[in-house]
Structure 1
């Protein structure tokens, strides 16, 4: 209200000064054909008023100016939300306590063993700079051997002393497997994943390669989003396809497990922009981590970022995406359809576990091909 009143007074003052100058000039020389000269003092006053209005307008961009009849458009709310999830540290100021804790260390000594703090920041959209003056902690025992050219090694062949187990309740892969065999840490068991066809929801890697070959398309490079311990990348390695895996160490050493298998882990969350250049990938797979729990806005940005990194003719594979049946029909299917990709495979089935039955959830496996040109 105060700002509007101030702008109104400035406009009135400008008009009064202009009217006064024109009237006085006319009375003094009514027959003069020459263009009247504006006094320097009046020009100075007009410039001062205009500068004040422009300054206030910059502070409040939605306030109308003298030359605009309608307010400037505001930023769409979707973009405002995603600004807090961007790969730049735009959200760090929202979490000063976590950031202070992360950056509190003794220079030229060992870095604190607190990866949980770093991941807490990352998952909140704050990607802090690395600690530049402390040394990363390493295991006390020297690693003698690592599995070579075998992405499905036996647990007995892995020197588990190479992993820092301090932050975890389990101190070995065997312990993790006993707690939950579906976490992916039994690498020999994982060798059968992405290989066997059991239901319509499955897409064995061999079938994927046949589909690409029939379409005269080549698969050489890919990213597995939320790929856990890297089992998909391991399966694709058998076909000489290079796949990097995005994964987080939320409850277990997933990044270390991927590296143990001779594969490349990317420590990035789902909402981060993929650290890949435009149009260079042949395949992007979204695993079990990509599901209905992701906010729709974030999922939309994820899908369009996938479109950014895929080349023309590349493939997007949604592997066992689950959601409520009604949401798949009304929300997620239309969202996926915005990409305009060709549906090579689109299969759905009811999710039969307790949570799936209770919530009316369904699985979707979709293989979609990006248009060659647009």
Structure 2
């Protein structure tokens, strides 16, 4: 990133200091070799939900091609950008990385199509939201440790996951209940590192969807010619490297787009730091606006690219066809498990039998949400294809 200072030296005054962490819901001895945020990151990486991201996709189903992004590769890319930005700004890289790695844990199989289908199935029980599911995984559903459910992350990491998109004005019941014991101050912004993770998600998502969409043939380079920033960068690279093969052209453009968006983000955030002069991470939270942001021009570029991808990629007829198929998979799995809970695996079946219909619906939702694309398709085949092995 030649346009920004990669190593700013001393930490920024508004960086989150691990030595001043507000701690964990369940008190634990500190590590002799790792900061509290490094431990959070490591717990996330070792979680079962994190490993399952390898076979959970965003737009394409896993069998459509092994070079498309999965939730795992996306999370790693977000974490890399978040660390780079945090380093430039003198923020805590480990906390930014932890939030980035955790942010997609609650996604269902089959991306947003799976989430929408599961939301319909759970409409009478409060619906389904992947951000809330991420929180439930981190605080309840991961069951690895002897003394507590969840990962028992620090206040700062949990706050960052819950509020990375801004203050939470209408928190879901699980978050409300948790905050009675461990107040995450939902009405304020998240700390600066979580804000970095949130915009790093946008940078990675948009630019890598350009890559995947082009490689899948959902649109062409010519279609991108009139998109602000994107079109001019394609022209710039084509002029600099005439005759460059398309795969290298795409990669060169994507890396330059990421670089320019990161440079803009760092420059605008430095401008806001100078203007607002926050003396601590707590002052960042209490501000009336985000500290970490794009410039107005880059926000416009980002919006134009999102609009293009929504129309030309997410609404492409090939994507719509696959969406229709996987929605039926999720719906039929849910209906089958609700009507025949004995079809669930042994440990899930025992819990389902003891629950009323409302509780059973949430349990079935948790089971399906934890599936990978591959596993969901396999389970659907076992349940509905009489020729498939059970």
TM-score bracket, normalised by the shorter chain, equals under 0.3
| Higher RCO, Cα 8 Å, sep 6+ | 2
**Greater share of helix residues, 1 or 2?**
2
Instruction: Report which of the two structures shows the higher radius of gyration computed on alpha carbons.
Output: 1
**Greater share of strand residues, 1 or 2?**
1
